Amino acid sequence: MRRLAGASSACYPNRMPDPARLARLRGLYAIVASPAEASAAIAGGAAAVQVRVKAAPAGEVLRIAREVVALADGRALVLVNDRADLALLAGADGVHVGDEDLPPEEARRLLGPALLVGRTTRTLAEARAALTAGADHVGYGPIFPTTTKALSVPPRGLEGLREVAGSLGAPVVAIGGISAATIAEVARAGAACAAVVGAIF
């Protein structure tokens, strides 16, 4: 994946990214459900891991996130899915929020300027709105058909990814059906990261 600098804060006044941390958001982005998965992903070269444990209580997610942060220890960024509060308590690098989670502006208020706030988006308009609201990067997809998560939107394809990555001026994490056979195309379309689950686990 290409390295992408963050867009100017003058363009998105509510977003105050830490440039050094944001610059590390590139390459393989592994979505993990356990410390063992995180350890394997980091050993394999993942630049970022997102802790996503949907069914567990908050205390269990916090325990897992703290273990993953300790495992990563400067080797990879760690983001927590959904829960900005748990990301903060775990000492993670940031949070990734979706439609049913805290809005980006509220996550930003909680995490402050130094930590990362990512937001799930399906269109260029949603991506721009997420940055205006306080996100410093976006997840965009699904790029290809995926069986990992049931979605109500069709695949966005490489052309959709190219449009968003070329227009946004901020890192785009591509997600959805990405495999070893397609990851190079995703990189060429301008994504800063390729988020994967089934392709590596």
Tell me the pLDDT of the chain (201 aa) as tens digits. 544 333 434 344 445 568 899 999 999 999 999 999 999 999 999 999 999 998 899 999 999 999 999 999 989 999 999 999 999 999 999 999 998 899 999 999 999 999 999 999 999 999 999 999 999 999 999 999 987 666 778 999 999 999 999 999 999 999 999 999 999 999 999 999 999 998 888
Q: Evaluate whether 116 touches 94 at the Cβ level (below 8 Å).
A: yes
For residue 198, give the amino acid letter: G
Paired sense of beta strands 116-121 and 48-51, if any: unpaired
Token pair 């069986």 in the structure block, residue: 147
Which residues, at least 6 apart from 47, have a Cβ–Cβ distance to it below 8 Å? 24, 25, 26, 27, 28, 29, 76, 77, 193
Element (H, E) at 90: helix 84-90
Q: Is 0.95 topped by the overall pTM?
A: no
Phi and psi at residue 95, to the nearest 5°: -135, 155
